[in-house]
A and B are shown apart, each in its own frame.
Chain A
Amino acid sequence: MSQGLFGIHGAALEVRAQRMGMLGSNIANAATPGYKARDIDFAAALQARLGGADADVAAGSAVRYRVPVMPSLDGNTVEMAVEQTAVAENAVAYSATLDFLRGRIDKVTRALRGE
């Protein structure tokens, strides 16, 4: 039912929220020696989720290690510029998805009220 009402956007919002957590983890570990930055391949995660996989399984199967632009001596691959850009991009996309959802809900609400 909710899949029919929200379409792709419910799943997209889930993946965006999971990606937000992953990027937060990267920023938290910016000073941890040997930490390897990770990211979620959004398209792959969404594809898996729409294919019927669980939210956690879908995100887990789409986790990729980041390839650093310039590796540091302590083995840490977090690059602040990269992470900040990813956070900004993810936040904008999250807002967009939220707007799509809001639009759908407004439409249904109006229909129910009979306006």
Chain B
Amino acid sequence: MGDAMAQVSTAGKIEDFRLPSAEGLAAYRESILAERDPNRTVIIVCHGTGCIANGSPKVAGALRKSIAAAGMTAQVIPQIKTTGCHGFCSRGPLVIFQPSGLFYQKVKENDAEEIVKTTLLEGNPVERLLYRDPRTDELIPYDYEIPFYKHQQRIVLRNIGKIDPVDIRDTIAVGGYQALAKALTSMTPEEVLTAVEAAGLRGRGGGGFPTGRKWRIAVENARKNPGPVYVVGNGDEGDPGAFMDRTLMEGDPHAVLEGMTIGAYALGAHQGYIYVRMEYPLAVRHLSIAIEQARALGLLGENILGTGFNFDIQINRGAGAFVCGEETALIASLEGRVGEPIPRPPYPAEKGLWGRPTIINNVETWGNVPQIIEKGAKWFSKLGVPHSTGTKIFSLVGKVNNVGLVEVPMGITLGRIVEEIGGGVPGQDRFKAVQTGGPSGGCIPYELKDTPVDFDSLSAVGAMMGSGGMIVMDKRDCVVDVACYFLRFLEEESCGKCLPCRLGLKAMLEYLDKFSKGKGSQEDIDDLHSLARAIMAGSLCALGGTSPNPILTTIRYFKDEYLTHVVDHKCPAGVCKDLITYSIDPEICNGCRACARACPQGCISGEKKKPHTIDASACIRCGMCMDECPVGAVMVE
């Protein structure tokens, strides 16, 4: 990845002159567009983290080489552009042709020559690289027709996949910073604030608190106590299985910068921070470059666009603590202290960083702001549903065919997301449950697949929108195991300050551990509910306060599965180690001994080319045999 990152930047030197005014920005945009031929082929190679890991830099390099070798005349040589994540991660590396939209998936380095020959020179698609719809078996050559994209509404993600995130000229060419220019030159701070209120934007980080109302609180507090106001972009996306914020920060960093600058104008803030998880080095890099380039053009820093408004942004990296996604813990971290939350009230909007009114919003929330200003609050409020306006980005992962990033209007049903956009569950006709909201959320069973995905509907079924992680589970996933998983995750991440969380997570795990071993009783389940209530009421912050959610929702919707563990001592999904047995199907086993070689216990025996057997008494249920078996002869029950 270190090498791959060095290859990513394609930006030349950005002219180091500050745009003197909004008119200057418009003129600069015109000059960029004038230099570009809209009909010239641009070959886009996705360089999101997923595609990079799958070798997209090599694909880009091979394409450049093949193009150079093809000896085309200068006018028709296509440009190769590396962009952020397109979202269709299960099909990467992705190569897309603009302006046509021709879409190639799972492209390898040695496909480059054929692509150049067949598509660029002869004008035909390379059929084996086209997307084939698994349900209709038809080839779909253009990205906008592929169901995965067709059913989405990409607003916050609209630029990602089209622009090179480390070349601000691309951002300006597609209209970036026009909203900022509009806000600074034709709107008062109060008008900007009213627009965000009227749009009905709610926080995208998990809490869903009305953004405009939060800003209003900060403005009022600043009026009562004059002094600095701060804005913070929360890029500490810690929910496992969620990568929306990473994609936004990597693929369209200026959307975040512009949103924060507009917000700062509304709030009277002059200093901003973006707090980025250290596990996202590419995001840190792209944001840093974006800030440098924005400063060079006078879109950040002093006297922005000649309007006299000053605002600058600093990047702070996280240091490996999920709890720092919580507002007050984040503030503690910015102040150089351990990331321990403090009780709220007072809320950061009243008293936050350095005791001053501070607005912390998730980077996706900030990413929504420019479009609200550019297209108007009324336009935004018509998207989605009345109390959850706009769109939301979700990371659809787990047991689903189309693993990736999707942006949909609020109110679309869960089933539509998993089936129409996600393409359903591989090998099974329905999902078992969808886990939303990370460790604070809940599992929604298939029976509730028509639940609209919006803040209030999800809360009503006991789940939570959360930051947008959507984990699809199938029959081979055990809900007791998943509840255990989230508790163990939180146990490691708990700051440890308050007893209900520090000791309570351990306590809940004792019960769950019992269940996963086939022990326990109905009385235990009742006690667990009482303990959960105590933890929810007594915890200092939302990490502890919402920690019982995965248990409570799984017990609510999958009570039978818990009882099967406890009463029948079986794990129907075949996951809980103490309740399962591994065995080899003698009808399928071909005696290749791959399993015996992989077995760390040496407990698989048999003659070469004859069916093998596992000695259950020595088996530790590590699963290596199942992973190594080339014919699927290892069974778990």
The answer to whether A and B assemble together is: no
Residues of chain B touching chain A, judged by Cβ–Cβ distance below 8 Å, are none
